[in-house]
Structure 1
Amino acid sequence: MSPSIRLAILASHPVQYYAPMFRELAKRVDLHVFYAHSATPEQQAAAGFGRAFEWDIPLTEGYSFSFLNNISKRPGTDWFGGCDTPEIYDLLKGGHFTVVLTLGWHLKSMIQGVFAAKRLGLPILVRGDSQLSTPRSLMKRWVKALAYPILLRAFDAALYVGKNNYNYWRAYGFPTDRLFHSPHCVETERFARGATLEARSALRKRLNINPASFVVLFAGKLLPFKRPLDVVRAVAMVRAEGLDCRVMVAGSGPLEAELIHEAKATEVPLDLLGFQNQSEMPAAYAAADLLVLPSTGRETWGLVANEALASGLPIAVSDQVGCGPDLANDGYVGRIFPMGNIRALAEAIQACLAFPPSYQAVARVSDAHSIEAACAGIIESLSDQVNRLSGQSKNL
């Protein structure tokens, strides 16, 4: 990559999943990240985590960044107007950037960045995980079918994170030669280092879990669209057939009381870890035998599945979860079941219990969705933009 390429990334706020990718990308290009919002611990709690907290891994180290001046009357990332940063035009103009990458278009700040890039004649790229199965009204689908084939052409290239995301772009007629694969990723090495046999033994011992028990893990906020009660109900079916199986939950949220009630009613052993910060999650994955993600289509990817695989853990996800076709379609390392079908989920758990995948098989799937792979797709798209700009210069 040419050192003359200067990349600006427009992001909503520091996120634990993106920071490692930014650090790696900064080794390869002249990078600056613009954040539209700085979330407070209280806003983290309001987002569904159930408690105020700060992430315990560095989110703004190893790359150049700045926070934009957010003039929204109600700052936040939970609604379109929560990030309003009109200064982005002047910053892009004065920063001598070559290409702009926005991580979606769901906030006013990002739309402002798109318009600014267009006014400045800068190529604008986008990376996100939108998929067609996300719940939306008939009217909204109709409007998007008419408008998006035109509006999405504002982007000079799109970085798709997986098969569902690729199909989304193609459904709206986006050209294939402007699509580049940059898979959703996590810091695989960190999870692999932490998910040790020692960590497994220590957490199981602390929770008084029999070494022979099969542990099904739910990791995430306890929200209705994530359907955590499905996990308890499916494990109840598995236990009814005489198998030693229990549920572990790494997360908190409004459904916690209901989850406890369901476990008691069905006599399913339940281990509630509560909210687990990033440094604590590898031990949770190590102590489990299977991650289950039973969400609706609102789960446009499900990065806990990446984390589980990086920790050597197989996964079972609903057919509405975005990562399914990429991470769980082999029926061995990953299994897919119809969303809301408790019997099918129970069968997926039993299949994993009877035929657990090898560590090597899990690692192969995880490695294909590494930070390096994600950055390679971004670099490829930047090279394409450089070549296109070079071609335009030659034709002038």
Structure 2
Amino acid sequence: MRLAVLTSHPIQYNAPWFRELARSTDMTVYFAHKATPQQQAAAGFGTAFEWDVDILTGYAHEFLRNAALDPGTHHFLGCDTPGIGARLREGNFDALLVTGWNLKSYWQGILAAKRRGVPILVRGDSQLETPRAAVTLAVKSIAYPPLLRLFDAALYVGQRNLAYWRRYHYPVQRLFFSPHCVDNFYFASRATQHSRNTLRARLGIANLTPVALFAGKLLAFKRPQDLVSAAAQVRSQGADLNVVFAGSGEQEGQLRAQAQQLGVPAHFIGFQNQSEMPAAYAASDVLVLPSSGEETWGLVANEALACARPIIVTEACGCAPDLAGDGTTGRVVPVKSPNALSAALQHILGAPPAHETIATKIALYSPEAAAAGVKDAALAVLRKDAPQS
């Protein structure tokens, strides 16, 4: 089977399942855009950077010429790749996988594949809880059911994403599970006791002091201030809880002032590239993701679980029902509720889940499982097993 993958730009989270899929599939990935370090900063990371791990080896790939006047992934016209049609023709591909439909490039690929009679798969993480205006929801309720049936099969990354497809009446027989994932082995093998001790020593945190970690961009929708408020409540109950912020962004100044006012020991270690993140998880005792509904998943939760750390996420996070909903690996709390977050912190710190329990959960969300879902979907549409209406 020859599979073409059309995606916006290199993303560190996609590389592991791209590599896994390439092990059993003749696959080529086409990138519509190559982000500059400055564009990474503008996307909310707060600093210009290049990923310090290789996210381009292990699978065939090509950067398409982006003809956009304002190149970028932040708007529909920012990825304009008229050459994708020729690539599909020259490659004689059996199927095309797109990772969304929010860019012009995706539609160029979709239309080119339709003209050639090439089946189209799609994989994304849209969820119904993402805030939308009432008029937008009304239009989608009418337009999306026929629009989404342009795809011959859809890959859903988790329960919320599945509910999204079901809401728009997409045929269940054409849905395949391809979970959101990270390179579990990479994180697990680097989240060592040594890395824990080293980072804690650098930050001046004693070995037995409990630490709650926030990992991600310090943006308003991620609500990092709720963790500071909850930590203050936990400390008022006698626990010497410290907070570590691994990330940078517009909220940093406000968070520093809040932590100082509430007497919460807060350590700001700035943006951490991929090779540095396992140590941040190792140094912590629990990851907290207090985001609002704009958090379509929250892959830092996968990273934390891969490092054998429990998680606390809000019910608005896309990953909540999958990674923490059953209570075995963490807790789910309401959005904007420092009181509930404080109670969850006290529970997790007092009775953390066993590492074996966490390992069992995160094994279900692996690059192998993600790649298997894509392969199953492609084979199904090629066999005409997926009903077309």
Distance 1:143 1:383 in 2: 33
One of 279, 283, 287 as aligned partner of 2:283: 287
Distance 1:299 1:334 in 2: 18
Residue 90 of structure 1 deviates from its aligned partner by 1.4
In structure 1, the partner of 2:188 is 192
Distance 1:245 1:256 in 2: 19
Query: 1:1-396 counterparts in 2 under 5 A?
Result: 5-388=1-384
**Unmatched tracts of structure 2, length 5 or more:** none
RMSD: 1.2
Residue 390 of structure 1 deviates from its aligned partner by 11
Distance 2:297 2:61 in 1: 26
Distance 1:72 1:301 in 2: 29
Q: Name the aligned partner's letter for residue 84 of structure 1.
A: D
Distance 1:231 1:251 in 2: 14
Q: Name the aligned partner's letter for residue 122 of structure 1.
A: V
Matched-pair contact (CA < 8 Å) for 2:308–2:355: yes
Distance 2:75 2:324 in 1: 31
Q: State, as a whole percentage, how many aligned pairs show the same letter.
A: 55
Aligned length: 388
Residue 386 of structure 1 deviates from its aligned partner by 2.0
Residue 318 of structure 1 deviates from its aligned partner by 0.3
Distance 1:334 1:162 in 2: 17
Residue 332 of structure 1 deviates from its aligned partner by 3.3
Residue 317 of structure 1 deviates from its aligned partner by 0.3
TM-score by length of 2: 0.98
TM-score by length of 1: 0.96
Matched-pair contact (CA < 8 Å) for 1:332–1:352: no
Distance 1:252 1:378 in 2: 34
Q: Name the aligned partner's letter for residue 55 of structure 1.
A: W
Cα displacement string for residues 245-270 of structure 1 (whole angstroms, at most 9, x for unaligned residues): 01001000011100100100100001
SS of alignment partner, residue 6 of structure 2: strand
Distance 2:111 2:387 in 1: 24
Matched-pair contact (CA < 8 Å) for 1:35–1:67: yes
Distance 2:257 2:200 in 1: 23
SS of alignment partner, residue 356 of structure 2: helix
Cα displacement string for residues 255-300 of structure 1 (whole angstroms, at most 9, x for unaligned residues): 1100100100100001111000000000000000000001111100
Distance 2:358 2:387 in 1: 43
Q: Name the aligned partner's letter for residue 234 of structure 1.
A: A
Distance 1:151 1:329 in 2: 31
Residue 391 of structure 1 deviates from its aligned partner by 11
List structure 1 segments (4+ residues) > 4 angstroms apart after TM superposition.
389-392
